[in-house]
Structures are given as C-alpha cells and as structure tokens.
Amino acid sequence: MLTIKTSASRKKSLTNFKIDYEYYFCTVQLTAPNIMKNKRLSRLKNAICGASALLVCVSMFSFKASASAKSCLADTVTNGFKLRTVIVDAGHGVKPDNAPKGHYSRGADGSFSNERNVTLSIALKLQKAIEKDITGVKAVLTRSTEEDVSFERRAQIANENKGNLFISIHCNSLPDRIVRERVGGTARRPKYRSMRVADRSGRGTLFLIYGLKRTTEADREIKNNQVEADSDLDGDGLDPNDPVVIILTNEYRRRFRKQSVNIANLINEEIVQTDGRRSEGLREQSIYVLCHAAMPSVLVETGYINNHDDEEYLNSEEGQTEIVNSIVRAITKYKNQMEASETN
C-alpha cells in the first residue's frame, strides 16, 4: 500500500471508496479540451491515425511490446480466434535489491497474512488449473516468486507472450477511518482528538476493468452490467498527457473494453452464483498494467484481507480452490463464446 496522500480527491477516496491503495490505481482525466490544448498531441494526431498510430508511437517512445501487442490486436478481431494464452498476474511482491527502474507495490496487510503472499498462492494454483482443465490453453505467470515485478515489466511479459487474456489477482483492503473522540474541555469548548481506526467492514469480491471517460453508450453498458462509476483516486504510473497512454487508452476502449466487461461478468457470476459469495460488482479504474497489456483484462479483488472472515477464506485451501475453480469455469465459458462467435 502507498503512503496516503492528502489531496482533496484522496481524502474523498478515504471516505467514499473501498479500494486497496497502490500504484496500480491512477486517475487520468482525458477530456477533449485537455487533448486539444496539448500541442504535442495535436501534432501527433495529425501525423498518425488508427492502428498505425499505436505502432508508430510505441516505437517512438520505446514501448518494447509493440510487435506482440500488434498480434494481440489482430487476434481479437479476426475470424478463427483461439484463446491460446492467459496471463496470470499475481499482484504485488517484495521489491528486490537492485530492482530495475519501475513501479513496485508491496500490497495490503491483514492481521496474520499479506496480500502479496495470498495473490501468489492463488495465481500459482490458477496457472496449474488453467493448463490442466482448459485444453490447448497456456497460462503464463508475471511473477512466480515472492519478488515483486514492476508494472512495466508485467505488461511486457503479457505482450511478449502474446496473451489473449489478462487476469490480475489482488486482495482488497479498506483504509483506516479517522474518528474524533472527545477528550475533555468544557461544554462550550470541548476538546477532541483524532484517531485512526481500522475499518474491517469490507467484504467480498470486486472486479476492476480499465476505463476512463465514458460515452453515453458506455454508460448504458455499465448500467446493464452493473459496472460502477469511476472513482477519483489519485496515483502514479500513468501520465495523462503522455501520447502513448492516450493512444493505448483509446485502443483499449475500442478493442478490449467489451470483452474485459464480459470476462469480469463471467467470473462475477461464478463467484456469486456457485460460491455464494458477496460481490461489489464491476468498477472502472485507471490501472497501469491493464492499460499497457494489449488484450482484454480484468483485475479481480478476491476479498478483503483486512476483514477477519475474508482473510480466513483467502488463506484457506478451500477458499483459494473455490476462487480458482470459479475463474477457470469463467475462462472456459469465455473461450467457448469467443471461439463460437468468431467462426459464425
């Protein structure tokens, strides 16, 4: 988790949103006026267009995954689509000594466990289960040890391996609440002190898909799919004025958003209907690794690690197996849907 900033939006997020705080979450304002004000981008927009824009910018800005990103783009829009490779991303980790430059995050802590170990354990099980239960599908891990891998490297791994689907495993956590307690004074001049109190009331799953400013059509889709509105968390990792981010964001929305919502809904249904667990539904969020992985993607908050019951569940063999089996059933349905629709 990150040190909590004291900006207005961060304060609001402390009280209004249930999110695990980390570099992953970045709010990017991509309004039309901002785009038009950006002369650098205007020049860029005039020079390039469409899919070639993505590739030109990618090479201009040394985004190393260009070739594989191109093949992923093609895979999702051509007939004969086959789901071949699922990227399984275990959130967080311990930053290694002499780590390459990039963004790292240790994740949230529970009372007897921590997010980075739980996500790794679930991800390892998920990789094995996908390869065992879904014929012809390979599962690639972005990290397989306790050492953290930067967000940038995770996206590269996804693209280098020509992933068709990106599943990021996380645990949620509520930030402490700030409460005021009277400590004396007079009736006219009471004295108070502020205290941080752990908020353990969060429970259940949450699904995050990558999203920024929405259109009316997207709003309708969100309503139908119970996707919640953007939260306004601050963060690092995505520069809203970076042309690469802008182009990748537009490409993501155009090519991968629909299937990202689809896979998130399929996993959500399994977890709610088969496992009988509580869910907070789907939410759009600016998330570095989802934006840069050029494929449909979802971040699964598997439960609240700072809630006692959820933490027990997340650490139990039974709980981890249920989560893994639900994700595998959802991926199987997704595969069947996508491969059937592409051959019709």
Q: Distances from the Cα of 264 to the Cαs of 70, 128, 282, 296, 344, in angstroms?
A: 23, 21, 7, 10, 24
Which of 91, 163, 235, 303 lies at the binding interface for Zn ion (CB under 5 A)? 91
Q: How far is the CB of 91 from Zn ion (least distance, A)?
A: 4
User: Is beta strand 205-210 parallel, antiparallel or unpaired with respect to 177-185?
Assistant: unpaired
203 binds Zn ion (CB under 5 A): no
Q: 310 in the Ramachandran plot: left (φ > 0), alpha (ψ -120 to 50) or beta?
A: alpha
Q: How far is the CB of 171 from Zn ion (least distance, A)?
A: 6
How many residues belong to the site for Zn ion (CB under 5 A)?
Answer: 4
170 binds Zn ion (CB under 5 A): yes
Which residue number is nearest to Zn ion in terms of Cβ? 170
Closest CA to 231 of 3, 38, 24, 2: 24
Q: Provide CB contacts within 8 A for 312, sequence distance 6+.
A: 319
* Nearer CB in complex with Zn ion: 91/296: 91
162 binds Zn ion (CB under 5 A): no
Residues 302-341, one symbol each (x = binds Zn ion by CB under 5 A, - = not), give ----------------------------------------
* Nearer CB in complex with Zn ion: 107/303: 107
Q: 143 and 134 in contact (C-beta within 8 Å)? A: no
Three-state DSSP at 78 gives coil
Report 100-119 residues binding Zn ion (CB under 5 A).
Answer: 107
Q: 57 and 44 in contact (C-beta within 8 Å)? A: yes
* Nearer CB in complex with Zn ion: 107/296: 107
20 binds Zn ion (CB under 5 A): yes
Three-state DSSP at 87 gives strand
Q: How far is the CB of 20 from Zn ion (least distance, A)?
A: 4
Give the residues lining the site for Zn ion (CB under 5 A).
20, 91, 107, 170
